[in-house]
Amino acid sequence: MAEKLMAKRKRKDTSDDEDLGDLSQVADFKAQASLKEAEYGIIESIRLKNFMCHGSLFFQFGPNVNFVVGRNGSGKSAVLTGVVVGLGGKASVTNRGGSLRAFIKDNTSLAQVTIKLRNRGSDAYKPELYGNSIIIERKMTSDGGSSYKLKSADNKRTISNKKEELDHILDQFNIKVGWMSRDYFR
């Protein structure tokens, strides 16, 4: 459409005001195209259970920019830490603990992070198995153990429990968990 408008502009022998109208249509078209929601790899929600300071927290993200706000010590960083750990990141990257055990809420023996990733469009990851979303569930135990469950969108079927499958999903969606440095969490 932008090419047609530009060609139309060149053919026209009119005033500058009309030309500006055509250019604004091109700008509007480009702006609308850039506002299109991504089809895959978007975090739709996160659920934290006995994770850091949160006994139970559910956070559903909006389709555009999201802000996590609150007072000091209210658990804002725990949400970001949950995203990193839930997507397979190492505890040492977060500067919040040297091991996964450090993320388990006091006086509990199990923590769980559940992340729902959007999985639609032509670049969706195994949509016939997972559906329109992929649910990633990571459990951490007080003895230092950790496990994964990768579930279908309806949360009824476990498709895999292998970290390698999660790595394939993250590669497909171009999500880089390991890029974060300790400075990011300060």
What CATH number is attached to the domain comprising 167? 3.40.50.300
The interaxial angle of helices 2-11 and 16-34, nearest 10 deg, is 170
pLDDT-derived band at 118 (thresholds 50, 70, 90) equals very high
Model pLDDT for residues 88-109, shown as the tens digit of each residue: 998 887 877 788 999 999 999 9
Do both 164 and 132 map to the same domain?
yes
Residue 161 pLDDT > 50, yes or no?
yes
Do both 94 and 130 map to the same domain?
yes
Which pLDDT score, from 0 to 100, does residue 23 have?
53
Share of residues in the chain with pLDDT > 90 (%): 62
Do both 177 and 101 map to the same domain?
yes
Model pLDDT for residues 167-176, shown as the tens digit of each residue: 999 999 999 9
Residue 113 pLDDT > 70, yes or no?
yes
Domain count, the chain: 2
Share of residues in the chain with pLDDT > 70 (%): 76
Do both 152 and 125 map to the same domain?
yes
Which pLDDT score, from 0 to 100, does residue 179 have?
61
Query: pTM here?
Result: 0.76
Provide the domain limits for residue 7.
2-34
Average pLDDT for the chain: 83
Do both 66 and 104 map to the same domain?
yes
Contact 40, 124 (CB under 8 A): yes
Measured in whole angstroms, the distance separating CA 150 from the mean position of its chain's CA atoms is 15
Do both 76 and 143 map to the same domain?
yes
